[in-house]
């Protein structure tokens, strides 16, 4: 064991001196996370409140009801901020410029037409680059219109019981009042769900970290092949050191490099970019499991290659494919069909899921993903060790 | 006084696929003795010592080092061996001192001991003033010296050197040979493989000649030379149709062996003094111009040629 | 033609390493495929709906939701599964139509749907769309109930039938929509289109940079010096190295363009325009790659820096997240990178059907980048080889 530790220390010293491990393990993922952070904080940093303009050219009962009750209610929910504009022309100009995401126009005579049972319409002016906000404005208007239509249809249906005769206006008004007073048959109640998904910032931090982890751990086991090439493996074998110690030392190097890299990344992204990784204990469990899985897989590939260069190439290909399927570049959980299942072939997917679940639930949420990753580690590690024994022969 | 036996090996056997690289090699080395394993490239020298050092599994045979049995897993036996491989085995990213410290501790020394011993070896190998530089910045000769120093670090009782002077400049080569002689004098057992006859002659108390995986002769230099029989070695430096001249000489009854070389002819004859005129006239008749003549005792090249019919050095 | 010879030799050396085939050709295609499959097609948010036991009216509401163009409805088995999916982000939000919905609406006090969403803006926005769709359905249902209450219909079913019959004839309150301003980004893109050109630019640049490693290897092996010892001028050597990189880039672009066009039906726009963008961008990449190769001695370090610059500049230039969604400030920052200009050119070629004349400004900027980088590279390479 002591020998394994000595070998590990020697390897770490070499690697850190080489700077390539520092680059791949820390600088590159941090740099990329920084860039992504810069891009994304400009987009949906949080404030996506819709600037909704309202032009009330009507000043009637219906428009008061719409602006006073319907829009107020939506505004209180924080979804929109309401900007009253005096004229349609002004409002249109603001919408064109993008200052307002959308405008709802209540044209003159709206209330009168509604009262009289005539066709009426609300107009939505949407900014060309804000389709989602425009859609929301439209939906708000349509909900209101639908409610008015319900009243009309209710009255019409009741009146249709006596076909041929037309009801006196008073009767119609009474019916309308009754219909308006009737409760809507279907209500929608909001139920809030937890978020068991990483926010964007944290997603990129975690995604980059776990992607490059699979490169960082390569430095451990591949060095065994390098030592064989360089001739120093012979010296190690001639020394009074067991083969297990030599292998152990190499695996330990991978592991420690992984720990150092991930720790620095977690701390740096949290402090510098405000990424929220979650409960420290849960994060630690997931990280350790991920490192072990990565080490096992990369070690296995190294044993299948003929020399260090080939090993590095195959390892890179594998790391990239697993990273892609595992959703480290972009979340593939929304992908249809086979892709959403294929993702779990990659330990990276389990890592990200673990972090997501940790966010929504307690620490207990990490055990399943951690065990999955440990299973990866166990299987690949066992095969790798078996093959490594034969490799550690001059 | 019989010195301790440091190494005892017998019946060593190893095959690689169809090829039998080592077939029944066995010998012993005592403390303070330098044993040379002499043979051409591909004879099985490196494979043999790999088995002795516990780097390679044996297909057959036994190895005992300082009384301990040696296998690829033996920790105690390996502690007694210092290994200097043919190819440089040093860590380029670490400094000379760091290389030494690492292996010192790997051989079980405490940090303090390791530090002391590393300093000693650095002085011994003349690397003390460059000890802090990374090994990749050393010159070729310095790297060689470090390579050897690493083998001596833990004061082994048996030092194994595998062709340590291949590709080395003459000055460094001499330095290496002198160091080995000194170590042997100090009581270390040394196993030295080479295909350079001069080194074997200069350094080794006993020599084993190995060819095609078999130990074909063993003994002191004098013992081996005697196998050629009484006689003198005549070395002609000449130009012309050397092969035909050598063939015609070989036909003579008093010529034991004759061989054409690059730039001359090597002969072993019964009595050079009396036969020299005949040799020269023979050779001149064949149109060969002789530049110089050297008469010596037969050397190991001659021994090898006598035993195998082939040259030691190709 | 020594330049061509050196270039071809670079090509051969590169593809002797099998895995380079993967990185240069296969991986970009796979990425386009995955991107397109995940984000292409309908970009509407996914709404999970649980409607077990909700009866015929529940089924009708489900159909109403399915017909709403701004949603993509996914049927879910039960509330627990719905909650998990929403929490995980697999669904944008969820609606539970309770069991007994049918009865509650027909004769009971009315029903309450539960709208399951996470506490973020986009989920709230989706809620309004759902409410709108529900309200349309509720109009008919409300009318039917009212008719029954007013004894104008014998039962709910009759009332509903009446309401449905009458509905088209009733003058309605409607909502009209117009668009203000013109969008920079056309909506007429196919499922894979935008992903394809952004990935192309990303990989051209990345390959050119990591190709810098080959230059370091050449130097390290002393080959450059050996080549200089032959009757080859430094200028030829430099041109050869750069041409090699341009050749590889063009080859890569050809595979990606034709491959994605054939396999995924990607539209690339006018061929002349595409060729111009690709060649100029290849020159930019070649210049950057060669320049980078002269700055480093160590391959490992060069790979690390190449990755950082290639991915970083790519991301900044809109190759991973489209420029559309950048804030105005970031969009301006993005145009420091050649990738952003390349993306703009393609957006015009594909999204707006522009011809090569329509993208001259972008081509001009790319040409300027290429000129600067190639000059720098040539200067450095000469110094390094001589020194």
Give residue B314's pLDDT.
Answer: 56
pLDDT, tens digit, 9 for 90 and up, residues C258-272: 888 888 788 888 899
Q: Contact B85/A242, CB-based, under 8 Å?
A: no
pLDDT, tens digit, 9 for 90 and up, residues B239-269: 888 888 888 888 888 888 888 888 888 888 8
Scored b (16 or more CB within 10 A) or e, C201-224 reads: bbbbbbbbbbbbbbbbebbeeeeb
pLDDT, tens digit, 9 for 90 and up, residues B23-43: 999 999 999 999 999 988 888
CA C102 to chain A, closest CA, distance in angstroms equals 11
pLDDT at C184 over 60: no
Residue C78's domain comprises: 46-169
Q: Contact A334/C46, CB-based, under 8 Å?
A: yes
Interface C:B, ≥3 CB–CB pairs < 8 Å = no
Contact B127, B50 (CB under 8 A): no
Interface C:A, ≥3 CB–CB pairs < 8 Å = yes
- The answer to whether A99 contacts chain C (CB < 8 Å) is no
Chain B residue with CA closest to A2: the answer is: B106
The answer to whether residue C182 sits within a structural domain is no
Spatial separation of the C-alpha atoms in residues C58 and C37, rounded to whole Å = 31
Give residue C219's pLDDT.
Answer: 67
Contact B43, B49 (CB under 8 A): no
Higher pLDDT, A332 or C188: A332
Structure tokens at A128: 């060309």
Nearest Cα to Cα of residue C175 among A295, A249, A102, A64: A102
| Structural domain count of chain C | 2
In the stretch 360-379 of chain A, residues with CB closer than 8 A to chain C read: 360
Beta bridge partners of residue B56, listed in sequence order:
none
Same domain, C199 and C164: no
Structure confidence at residue B75 as a pLDDT band (50, 70, 90): confident
Contact A332, A320 (CB under 8 A): no
**A-chain residues near B101 (CB < 8 A):** none
CA C52 to chain A, closest CA, distance in angstroms equals 17
All chains having 3 or more CB pairs closer than 8 angstroms to chain B:
A
Which residue bears the tokens 């701390």? A267
Sorted by where each begins, the domain ranges of chain B are: 5-225, 230-297
Same domain, C215 and C345: yes
In the stretch 12-51 of chain B, residues with CB closer than 8 A to chain A read: 50
Contact C46, C39 (CB under 8 A): no
SS3 B54: coil
**C-chain residues near A38 (CB < 8 A):** 316, 330, 333
Chain C residue with CA closest to A150: the answer is: C139
- The answer to whether A339 contacts chain C (CB < 8 Å) is yes
The answer to whether residue C237 sits within a structural domain is yes
Instruction: Say how many CB pairs under 8 Å bridge A and B.
Output: 73
Tell me the CATH architecture of domain A50-155. 3-Layer(aba) Sandwich (3.40)
**B-chain residues near A391 (CB < 8 A):** none
Same domain, C21 and C131: no
Spatial separation of the C-alpha atoms in residues A77 and A71, rounded to whole Å = 10
Same domain, C222 and C337: yes
Nearest Cα to Cα of residue C85 among C130, C45, C139: C45
Q: Where are the alpha helices (DSSP H) in B7-64?
A: 45-52
The answer to whether residue C183 sits within a structural domain is no
- The answer to whether A237 contacts chain B (CB < 8 Å) is yes
Q: Contact A241/B102, CB-based, under 8 Å?
A: no
Give residue A46's pLDDT.
Answer: 44
CA B156 to chain A, closest CA, distance in angstroms equals 11
**Widest Cα–Cα separation across chain C:** 106
Option in A98, A128, A330 nearest C179 (CB): A128
pLDDT, tens digit, 9 for 90 and up, residues C59-94: 989 998 998 887 889 899 899 999 988 888 888 899
Q: How far apart are the first and last CA of chain B?
A: 41
Option in A234, A240, A242 nearest B55 (CB): A234
Contact C128, A79 (CB under 8 A): yes
Structure tokens at B207: 């020599």
CA A258 to chain B, closest CA, distance in angstroms equals 21
pLDDT, tens digit, 9 for 90 and up, residues B77-129: 999 999 999 889 999 989 999 999 999 999 999 999 999 999 999 998 889 99
Chain A residue with CA closest to B104: the answer is: A239
How many Cβ atoms sit within 10 Å of the Cβ of residue B123?
Answer: 13
- Across A104-118, B196-210, C182-196, C206-220, least confident range: C182-196
- The answer to whether A264 contacts chain C (CB < 8 Å) is no
Q: What's chain B's length in residues?
A: 314
pLDDT, tens digit, 9 for 90 and up, residues B289-300: 888 988 887 888
- The answer to whether B297 contacts chain A (CB < 8 Å) is no
Sign of CA dihedral C76, C80, C83, C89: negative
All chains having 3 or more CB pairs closer than 8 angstroms to chain C:
A
pLDDT averaged over every residue in chain C: 83
Structure confidence at residue B308 as a pLDDT band (50, 70, 90): confident
Best C173, C188, C203, C314 residue to mutate vs chain A (most A CBs within 10 Å): C173
- What is the average per-residue pLDDT within B277-286? 85
Structure confidence at residue C182 as a pLDDT band (50, 70, 90): low
**A-chain residues near B103 (CB < 8 A):** 235, 239
Pick the CATH number of B230-297 from 3.30.70.1340, 3.40.50.10800, 1.10.10.10, 3.30.450.40: 3.30.70.1340
Tell me the CATH architecture of domain B5-225. 3-Layer(aba) Sandwich (3.40)
**C-chain residues near A334 (CB < 8 A):** 38, 46, 89-90
Q: Contact C138/A127, CB-based, under 8 Å?
A: no
Same domain, C97 and C7: no
Sorted by where each begins, the domain ranges of chain A are: 2-42+196-391, 50-155
Give residue A106's pLDDT.
Answer: 92
SS3 A159: helix
Q: How far apart are the first and last CA of chain C?
A: 26
**A-chain residues near C325 (CB < 8 A):** 43
Spatial separation of the C-alpha atoms in residues B63 and B22, rounded to whole Å = 14
SS3 B91: coil
Option in C118, C132, C329 nearest A193 (CB): C118
Q: Contact B106/A232, CB-based, under 8 Å?
A: no
pLDDT tens by residue, chain A, 394 residues: 789 999 999 999 888 887 778 888 888 888 888 888 787 776 554 456 788 999 998 888 888 889 888 888 888 877 888 888 888 899 988 888 878 888 999 999 999 888 888 888 999 998 877 777 888 888 889 888 988 888 888 888 887 777 666 778 788 778 888 888 887 788 888 888 877 777 777 888 899 899 999 999 988 878 888 888 888 999 999 999 988 888 889 989 999 999 999 999 999 999 888 888 989 999 999 999 999 999 999 999 988 888 777 888 889 889 989 998 898 887 777 676 777 788 899 999 999 999 988 988 788 889 999 999 999 999 999 998 888 777 655 4
Instruction: Say how many CB pairs under 8 Å bridge A and C.
Output: 341
- The answer to whether B155 contacts chain A (CB < 8 Å) is no
Same domain, C93 and C137: yes
Radius of gyration of chain B, Cα coordinates, nearest whole angstrom = 22
Scored b (16 or more CB within 10 A) or e, A95-109 reads: bbeeebbbbbbbbee
Q: Contact C110/A187, CB-based, under 8 Å?
A: yes
Predicted ipTM of the assembly: 0.82
The answer to whether residue C176 sits within a structural domain is no
In the stretch 46-75 of chain A, residues with CB closer than 8 A to chain C read: 46, 48-50, 74
Classify strands B81-84 and B158-162 as parallel, antiparallel or unpaired: parallel
Q: Contact A129/C185, CB-based, under 8 Å?
A: yes
Best A117, A193, A346 residue to mutate vs chain C (most C CBs within 10 Å): A193
Give residue C190's pLDDT.
Answer: 61
Sign of CA dihedral C321, C262, C246, C272: negative
Give residue C220's pLDDT.
Answer: 62
Same domain, C361 and C236: yes
pLDDT at C382 over 90: no
Domain boundary among C169, C200, C222: C169
Q: Contact C132/A40, CB-based, under 8 Å?
A: no
Best A44, A125, A186 residue to mutate vs chain C (most C CBs within 10 Å): A186
- The answer to whether A342 contacts chain B (CB < 8 Å) is no
Best A234, A247, A390 residue to mutate vs chain B (most B CBs within 10 Å): A234
- The answer to whether A390 contacts chain B (CB < 8 Å) is no
Scored b (16 or more CB within 10 A) or e, B38-74 reads: bbbeebbbbbbbbbbbbbbebeebebbbbeeebebeb
- What is the average per-residue pLDDT within C168-186? 76
Classify strands B214-219 and B5-16 as parallel, antiparallel or unpaired: unpaired
- The answer to whether A389 contacts chain B (CB < 8 Å) is no
Which residues make Cβ contacts (< 8 Å) with residue A271, sequence separation at least 6? Answer: none
Q: Contact B106/A238, CB-based, under 8 Å?
A: no
Give residue B1's pLDDT.
Answer: 44
Structure tokens at C321: 């997240």
Distances (CA, A) of B310 to B36, B197, B224, B307: 19, 14, 16, 8
Contact C234, C342 (CB under 8 A): no
Q: Contact A230/B106, CB-based, under 8 Å?
A: no
Q: Contact B54/A238, CB-based, under 8 Å?
A: yes
Q: Contact C173/A36, CB-based, under 8 Å?
A: no
- The answer to whether A165 contacts chain C (CB < 8 Å) is no
């Amino acid at each position: 064991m002591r020998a394994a530790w000595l070998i590990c220390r020697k390897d770490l010293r070499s690697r850190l001196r080489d700077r390539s491990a520092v680059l791949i393990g820390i600088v590159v993922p941090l740099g990329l996370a920084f860039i992504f952070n810069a891009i994304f904080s400009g987009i949906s940093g949080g404030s996506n409140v819709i600037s909704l303009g309202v032009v009330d050219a009507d000043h009637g009962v219906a428009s008061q009801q719409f602006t006073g009750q319907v829009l107020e209610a939506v505004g209180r929910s924080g979804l929109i901020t309401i900007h009253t504009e005096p004229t349609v022309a002004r409002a249109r100009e603001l919408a064109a410029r993008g200052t307002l995401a959308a405008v709802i126009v209540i044209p003159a005579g709206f209330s009168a037409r509604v009262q009289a049972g005539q066709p009426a319409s609300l107009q939505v002016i949407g900014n060309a680059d804000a389709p989602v906000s425009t859609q929301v404005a439209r939906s708000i208007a349509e909900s209101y219109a639908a409610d008015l239509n319900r009243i009309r249809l209710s009255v019409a249906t009741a009146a249709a019981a006596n076909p041929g005769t037309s009801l006196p206006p008073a009767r119609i008004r009474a019916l309308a009042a009754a219909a308006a007073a009737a409760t809507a048959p279907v209500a929608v109640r909001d139920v809030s769900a937890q978020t068991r998904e990483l926010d964007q910032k944290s997603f990129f931090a975690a995604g980059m970290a776990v992607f490059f982890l699979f490169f960082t751990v390569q430095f451990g086991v591949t060095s065994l092949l390098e030592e064989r090439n360089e001739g120093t493996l012979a010296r190690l074998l001639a020394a009074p050191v067991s083969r297990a110690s030599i292998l152990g030392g190499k695996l330990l190097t991978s592991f420690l490099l992984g720990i150092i890299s991930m720790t620095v990344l977690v701390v740096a992204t949290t402090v510098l970019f405000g990424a929220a990784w979650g409960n420290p204990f849960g994060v630690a469990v997931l990280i350790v499991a991920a490192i072990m899985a990565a080490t096992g897989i990369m070690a296995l590939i190294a044993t299948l290659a003929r020399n260090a260069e080939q090993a590095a190439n195959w390892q890179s290909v594998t790391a990239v494919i697993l990273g892609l399927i595992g959703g480290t570049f972009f979340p593939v959980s929304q992908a249809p069909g086979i892709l959403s299942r294929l993702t779990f072939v990659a330990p990276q997917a389990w890592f990200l899921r673990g972090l997501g679940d940790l966010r929504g639930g307690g620490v207990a949420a990490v055990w399943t993903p951690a065990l999955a990753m440990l299973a990866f580690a166990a299987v690949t590690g066992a095969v790798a060790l078996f093959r490594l024994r034969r490799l550690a022969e001059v | 006084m019989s010195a301790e036996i440091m190494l005892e090996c017998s019946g060593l056997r190893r095959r690689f696929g169809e090829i039998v690289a080592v077939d029944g090699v066995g010998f012993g080395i005592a403390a303070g003795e330098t044993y040379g394993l002499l043979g051409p490239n591909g004879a099985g020298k490196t494979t043999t010592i790999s088995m002795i050092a516990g780097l390679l599994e044996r297909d057959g045979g036994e190895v005992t080092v300082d009384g301990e049995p040696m296998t690829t897993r033996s920790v105690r036996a390996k502690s007694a061996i210092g290994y200097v491989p043919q190819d440089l085995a040093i860590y380029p990213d670490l400094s000379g001192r760091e290389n030494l410290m690492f292996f010192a501790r790997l051989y079980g020394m405490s940090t303090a001991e390791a530090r002391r011993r590393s300093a000693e070896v650095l002085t011994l190998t003349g690397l003390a003033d460059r000890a802090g530089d990374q090994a990749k910045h050393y010159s070729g000769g310095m790297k060689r010296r470090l390579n050897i120093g690493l083998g001596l670090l833990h004061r082994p009782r048996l030092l194994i050197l595998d062709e340590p002077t291949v590709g080395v400049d003459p000055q460094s080569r001499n330095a290496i040979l002198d160091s080995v002689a000194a170590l042997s004098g100090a009581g270390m057992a040394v196993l030295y493989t080479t295909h350079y006859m001069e080194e074997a002659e200069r350094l080794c108390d006993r020599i084993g000649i190995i060819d095609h995986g078999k130990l074909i002769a063993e003994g002191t230099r004098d013992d081996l030379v005697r196998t050629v029989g009484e006689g003198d070695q005549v070395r002609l430096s000449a130009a012309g149709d050397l092969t035909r001249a050598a063939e015609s000489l070989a036909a003579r009854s008093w010529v034991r062996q004759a061989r054409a070389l690059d730039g001359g002819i090597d002969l072993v004859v019964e009595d050079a003094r009396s036969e020299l005129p005949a040799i020269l006239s023979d050779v001149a008749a064949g149109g060969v111009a002789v530049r110089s003549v050297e008469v010596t005792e037969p050397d190991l090249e001659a021994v090898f040629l006598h035993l195998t019919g082939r040259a030691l050095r190709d | 033609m020594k330049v061509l010879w050196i270039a071809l030799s670079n090509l051969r050396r590169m593809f002797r390493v099998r895995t380079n085939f993967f990185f240069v050709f296969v991986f970009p295609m796979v990425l386009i495929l995955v991107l397109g499959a995940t984000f292409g097609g309908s970009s509407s948010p996914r709404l999970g709906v649980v409607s077990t036991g909700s009866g015929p009216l529940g089924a009708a509401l489900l159909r109403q939701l399915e017909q709403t163009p701004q949603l993509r409805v996914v049927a879910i088995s039960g509330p627990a599964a719905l909650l998990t999916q929403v929490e995980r982000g697999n669904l944008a939000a969820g609606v539970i139509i309770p069991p007994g919905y049918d009865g509650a609406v027909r004769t009971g006090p009315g029903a309450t749907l539960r709208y399951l969403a996470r506490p973020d803006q986009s989920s709230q926005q989706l809620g309004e769309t759902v409410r709108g769709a529900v309200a349309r359905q509720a109009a008919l249902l409300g009318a039917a109930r009212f008719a029954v209450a007013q004894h104008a219909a014998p039962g709910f079913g009759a009332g509903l039938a009446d309401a449905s019959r009458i509905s088209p004839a009733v003058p309605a309150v409607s909502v009209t929509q117009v668009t203000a301003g013109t969008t920079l980004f056309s909506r007429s893109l196919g499922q894979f289109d935008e992903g394809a050109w952004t990935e192309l630019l990303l990989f051209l640049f990345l390959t050119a940079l990591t190709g810098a490693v080959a230059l370091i290897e050449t130097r390290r092996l002393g080959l450059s010096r050996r080549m200089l010892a032959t009757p080859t001028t430094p200028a030829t050597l430099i041109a050869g190295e750069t041409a090699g990189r341009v050749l590889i880039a063009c080859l890569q672009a050809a595979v990606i363009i034709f491959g994605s066009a054939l396999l995924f039906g990607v539209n690339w726009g006018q061929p002349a325009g595409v060729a111009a963008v690709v060649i100029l961008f290849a020159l930019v990449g070649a210049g950057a790659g060669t320049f980078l190769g002269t700055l480093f001695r160590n391959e490992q370090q060069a790979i690390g820096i190449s990755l950082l610059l290639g991915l970083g500049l790519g991301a900044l230039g809109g190759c991973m997240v489209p420029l559309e969604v950048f804030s105005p400030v970031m969009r301006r920052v993005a145009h420091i990178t050649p990738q952003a200009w390349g993306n703009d050119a393609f957006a015009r070629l594909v999204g707006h059907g522009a011809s090569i004349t329509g993208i001259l400004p972008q081509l001009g900027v790319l040409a300027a980048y290429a000129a600067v980088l190639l000059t720098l590279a040539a200067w450095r390479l000469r110094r390094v080889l001589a020194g």
